Amino acid sequence: MSRLSIVTVNRAQETVEELYKDAERRIQASQPGLCPVDLAATFVHICHAQSCGKCTPCRIGLGSLEGLIGQVLEGTATLETLDVIERTARSVFVSADCAIGQEAARMVLKGIRGFRDDYEEHVLHGRCLGVQNQPVPCVALCPAHVDIPGYISLIYEGRFADAVALIRKDNPLPSTCGLICEHPCEVRCRRTMVDDPINIRGLKRFACEHEGEIPTPKRAEATGKKVAVIGGGPSGLSAAYYLSLMGHSVTVYEQRKKPGGMLRYGIPSYRLPREALDHEIEGMKKAGFEIRCGVSVGTDVDMETLRSEYDAIYIAIGAHTDRKIGIEGEDAKGVISAVEMLRAIGDDEYPDYSGKKVVVVGGGNVAMDVARSAVRLGAAGVTVVYRRRKIDMTALPEEVEGAIADGCEILELHAPLSIEKNEAGEVDAIFLQPQIVGPVKWGRPAPVNAAQTPVRMECDLVLVAVGQGIDSQKFGDYGIPVKRGSILAAESGEIENMAGVFSGGDCVTGPATVIRAIAGGKVAAANIDEYLGFHHEIEANVELPRIRFDDHEPMGRVNMTERPAAERRCDFGLMENCMTGEEAHQEASRCLHCDHFGFGIFKGGREAKW
């Protein structure tokens, strides 16, 4: 008889481990619009299966809760039942012996409080609130509703120009998005249920790089209407592009030297090369709109003049002002805002950081952009200081990992306290208060001052990336409604009591993503067209290939590769490599075609035009 033995995993347990992973991926790919009450019943059922069975509340109570929620779903419950559910869940929560029972009951409580309306709708009317809507996940989650399954099928067939033409129907900045889109389309990709989400952004980039010359789009007959677009960023350019296609005469007013907005003045070229951006904007201009750079509305030309000269106006001025940390010494020389630094780079004015020790304050994507740019500008050391944990950073994980690979240090759980200046008023050091991760607030663990003394970190430059504001004051003065800097516009882009004036993009939403800005421009174009008394339709006229059959055997996702860190950190050249043709073909073959297979063929599938 051996005294000890090595624990081996049996086949059943191995299979269960795999099933856990399957279930995890399934939950990750859950489509929006599911019945929350049904899900609550399902979750409590899973929790119940985890019960060891020792204690009453968990062994019996969870089953009772599932039964009660089941009555709600079956339409046999009353409003009194909801009180019983809440009372029982509360008792299980406080009396269960371990987390298995306690947390299960907490989930039930969270639900009955968080979506009580849905519970009541089931009790009173036997149905969910709202109408079932399970559209194609990628298309639904793309703010511009690009026909993703459509263009992926074209990439599979090698019809790259057609694929890009189809993208342009909904998004006139495909190359840009191929390089830097945050790809919300991938978040709930149904392929995740099989293995991993499709690399949609990577496929888009591949198609754009193989498009050939950007074709001149067909314009509708001239309408004689004039539209002014204020701001030459992604939102303004998108609106200008579609409005031009609709036959309107469009002029874009851009206050900086070149168009592009944050694409040029906010995103460093190692992510979005200037040549790619210029090529894209030149291609867009084939739609026939004019861009006047170096003209600031409110300074060089006023709103009254624009309103009298144009039939409609789209305000898309973005969010370009910097935010301060609000600490002592922030006025020191060498404290530079991310906006300021990236703007200079946008105009090809590259500062020299050789030998400098740089501290970056912030944890978002912009913080990563300035940190990685600082490396490329020759900094001797770059440290990103963040008051929460690295895992809590709002920057995309791959951006954080990329920054580390580029040589940046991440100093998590340190909050800036003050900046120390020398006699010349230059930055000498930054004082940081160590933090301890604390209780969860609003879904994120909040940092709390740790019982440690502040640390002093010597540095020559402090780059501040703690958010951006909107320079909307001139528009507020003119009478445009503004709240906390943001312009108040309806979901249609319309501005109340300001006929013919529309607004969208970052200046309405606050700093967001390029694809949301593009969607804002697209929405505004459609509604400006209606406002002007037209109903032009934008379509691609691309015939899609026959729907392909596939058994969808699990297959790995093709991820993007990057130039080696040692090489890329020395220049501002594009960091990411494109997929190969072989990779793109294989990746495109993984698409499940949710526009054809599933709910998409019934409702919420392909929109051939808008």
Partner 1 sequence: MVNVTIDGNTIQVPERTRILDAARLVGVRIPTLCYWEGLNEIGACRVCVVEVEGYDKLFTACNNTVADGMVIRTNSPKARQARRTNVELILSEHNSNCATCVRSGSCELQAISQELNIRDLPFEKKIPAKKQTGSFPLVRDYSRCIKCMRCIQVCDKIQSSNIWDVVNTGAKTTVDVRDAYTLEDSSCALCGQCITHCPVGALHERDDVDRVIEAVGDPDRITVCQIAPAIRTAWGEPFGLTPELATVERMCKALKMAGVDYVFDTNFSADLTIMEEGSEFLNRLSASDARLPMFTSCCPGWVRFLKAHYPEFTENLSTAKSPQQMFGAVAKSYYAELLGVEPEKIFCFSIMPCLAKKHECAIPVLNDACGQPDVDVSLTTREADRLISLFNIVPAEIPEQPLDMPLGVGSGAGNIFGATGGVMEAALRTAYALVTGKNPDPDAFSAVRGMEGWKECAFDLGGKTLKIAVAHGLGNADKLLKAIKKGEVSYDFVEVMACPGGCVGGGGQPIHAQKFCAPERAEVLYRQDAAMALRFSHENPSITEIYRSYLGEPLGERSHHLLHTDHRAWKMPSEE
Binding site for partner 1 (CB under 8 A): 33-35, 38, 73-76, 125-128, 131-132, 134, 546-547, 549-552, 596, 601-603
Shortest CB 124 distance to partner 1, Å: 9
DSSP per-residue codes, 293-308: ET--BTTTB-HHHHHH
Instruction: Give whichever of 73 and 461 is closer to partner 1, judged by the CB atom.
Output: 73
Beta-bridge mates of residue 227: 250, 312
CA distance 462 to 360: 6
Report the chain's terminal Cα–Cα distance, integer Å: 76
Instruction: Give whichever of 442 and 602 is closer to partner 1, judged by the CB atom.
Output: 602
Shortest CB 416 distance to partner 1, Å: 47
Instruction: Give whichever of 72 and 371 is closer to partner 1, judged by the CB atom.
Output: 72
Instruction: Give whichever of 274 and 596 is closer to partner 1, judged by the CB atom.
Output: 596
Strands (E), 390-535: 409-411, 414-421, 427-441, 444-449, 455-458, 461-464, 468-469, 482-483, 486-487, 501-503
Instruction: Give whichever of 219 and 596 is closer to partner 1, judged by the CB atom.
Output: 596
Torsion angle (degrees, nearest 10) of CA 322, 327, 333, 338 = -30
Instruction: Please work out, in degrees rounded to the nearest 5, the angle formed at the alpha carbon of residue 321 by the alpha carbons of 315 and 326.
Output: 145
Alpha-helix residue ranges (DSSP H) falling in 269-364? 274-285, 303-309, 338-346
φ, ψ dihedrals at 230, nearest 5°: -100, 110
Element of type H or E holding 477: helix 473-478
CA 15 from chain centre, in angstroms, equals 35
Instruction: Give whichever of 40 and 229 is closer to partner 1, judged by the CB atom.
Output: 40
Shortest CB 48 distance to partner 1, Å: 18
Shortest CB 505 distance to partner 1, Å: 31
Shortest CB 121 distance to partner 1, Å: 10
DSSP per-residue codes, 167-222: HHTT-S-HHHHHHH---GGGTT-GGGGTSS---HHHHHHHHHHTS-SPPPPPPPPP
Instruction: Give whichever of 110 and 127 is closer to partner 1, judged by the CB atom.
Output: 127
Instruction: Give whichever of 108 and 377 is closer to partner 1, judged by the CB atom.
Output: 108
Shortest CB 73 distance to partner 1, Å: 6
Q: Which two tokens stand for residue 345?
A: 């780079």
Shortest CB 546 distance to partner 1, Å: 5
Shortest CB 42 distance to partner 1, Å: 8
Shortest CB 415 distance to partner 1, Å: 44
- Buried-state track 290-302, b at ≥16 Cβ within 10 A, e below 16: ebeeebebbeebe
Instruction: Give whichever of 122 and 387 is closer to partner 1, judged by the CB atom.
Output: 122
> Contact 399/368 with Cβ under 8 angstroms?
yes
